[in-house]
Amino acid sequence: MPIPIAGGWTREAGIRIEGTRDLDASKTQAPGVIARPSGGFRLFYTGVGPGRPYPECQGYILSAVSDDGLEFSVEPGIRLAPDPAVEYMSLRLLAPSIVQLADGRWRMYVEARGTSQQPPVITSAISDDQLQWRHEPGVRLSTSGGLGGPRLTQLPGGRCRLLACADDYGPMGRSGGLRKGKHIISALSDDGLEFVAEPGQRIRSGQAPWDAMGITAGQLLGPTGESITDTAWTMIFSAWQDAPPGSVIPRHPSDPTGTDTPPGELDFAAASIASDIAGFRSRIFQATSPDGLSFGPSECIVAGGGYDSDDIDAVHAEDMSVISLGDGRQRMYYAACDTAGRWRIASAVTSP
């Protein structure tokens, strides 16, 4: 069934970031963008490669900078790495979301993963300069099934709302291994550290064939100069479509019913990529809300051409991060995967 593409967003030609070094040669994913204090942009992303800091490590946060938001230069070193001594973040960090605090510092929220039996959680780090980051003790948000794809929105009055995608494994829980969906939930905080979950789900997956496998990230854009419309909150989110019936799906290393991938990044990367391109698709959607809590029908805004396409996002477009350009436009950076399983960072932009 063809999926209509909504107006308002135009995919930009070219690649914003791709793996070019030992730190990100296998995968570049899950971007998070922020304005630089000196001007231009800094794009954070998850990298995987043979330059990992220890053998079991499956991903860490890297960065690149740009004056125009299109041509990026990668920065040396790792911005934030997992800690093998901390169970809930011993293997992988994903999907950075960065905000500036009232005192001038920056906070980064990330999805943190341990072994496949450990539910992913949302944790955070703090920085004075966007380059040197320090993990903050504890977990910002967690559920029994696991959380991923954090995106923080600062609200009027000093509070903030954290969105994350919650795994739903049904009554048997994560140990049952049969995930029923991945839905967007939210939590409020006065200080950015202690969060209280809000009732219900902001957007529930499984409402259509193209979101049957769940939602991987959702960013809430406010109604005043930050959204596509001027009259409503806008949710930008990415969702996965299941593989066609009869597809042979290799087990993904994060599957809690299997054994963990043996040490060695190439084993992890190869296994996860093989699963990514086994018939699944992901696309980016938007939906609007009068209050930022209950959302109407969604419409597709970014989608590649599918398995017969040469697009850099032919198979997957997901885990986006949106920033205002200051001229009435917005730019979206997103993880893109082609039919060869190459994960890179692409972008799309709105009209003025």
Q: What is the pLDDT of residue 173?
A: 55
> Which CATH number describes the domain made up of 9-350?
2.115.10.20
DSSP 3-state of 251 = coil
Q: Determine contact, residues 209/1, Cβ cutoff 8 Å.
A: yes
Q: In a structure prediction context, what are the per-residue pLDDT tens digits for the chain, which is 352 residues long? A: 456 666 689 999 999 999 999 999 999 999 999 999 999 999 999 999 999 999 999 999 999 999 999 999 999 999 999 999 999 999 999 999 999 999 999 999 999 999 888 899 999 999 999 999 999 999 999 998 899 999 999 988 889 999 999 987 665 555 555 656 789 999 999 999 999 999 999 999 988 888 999 999 999 998 744 444 456 899 999 999 999 998 887 777 666 655 554 444 447 788 889 999 999 999 999 999 998 899 999 999 999 999 999 999 999 999 999 999 988 899 999 999 999 999 999 999 998 7
Q: What is the 3-state secondary structure (H, E, C) of 194-214?
A: CCEECCCCCECCCCCHHHCCE
What gap in Å lies between CA 73 and CA 299, rounded to an integer? 33
Whole-model pTM above 0.85? yes
- Write down the domain spans for the chain: 9-350
Residue identified by tokens 């380059």 is 131
Whole-number pLDDT of residue 178: 60
The CA distance from 349 to 152, in Å, is 21
99: tokens are 């905000």
Token couple for 334: 């997103």
27 in Cβ contact with 18 (< 8 Å): no
Residue 184 and residue 153 in contact, taking contact as beta carbons nearer than 8 Å = no
